Structure 1
Amino acid sequence: MLRYALIFLVVAIIAGVLGFGGIAGAASGIAQILFFLFLAFLVISLIVGLFRRAS
């Protein structure tokens, strides 16, 4: 998931440099959503791992 967020970020940067504002905005929005989903899943995974290790 983090890989796709980075890919969309690169697409957004390239589109922004080339002047495609709409595509750059959409790609950066998708990258932001994927990044926050990755962070949420990371935190959930760490919490579940701590509870499994404790019991």
Structure 2
Amino acid sequence: MWALLIILLIVWAGLAVFGFVVKGLLWLAVLGIVLFLATIVIGIVRRAGARK
């Protein structure tokens, strides 16, 4: 489970960096950042739920 979240975080961060490098793909950078943050939130929520 955690391995999947870490892989997704790396992929989303890569998309964000690639989007900023290729300025015409700014939408890709925004998408990468949004997905990166969403993955972090999902991981935190699932971790908090597992502790209960």
Kindly report the root-mean-square deviation, in angstroms, between the aligned alpha carbons of the 2 structures.
Answer: 1.4
The offset of 1:5, in angstroms, is 2.1
Between the aligned partners of 2:41 and 2:6, the Cα distance in structure 1 is: 9
Q: TM-score, normalised by structure 1?
A: 0.68
Identity %: 6
Task: Give the length in aligned residue pairs.
Answer: 47
Gaps of 5+ in 2: none
Higher-Rg member (1/2): 1
- The amino acid across from 1:30 in the alignment is L
Q: Moved runs in structure 1, 4+ residues, more than 2 A?
A: none
Matched, 1:29 2:16: no
Between the aligned partners of 2:45 and 2:9, the Cα distance in structure 1 is: 14
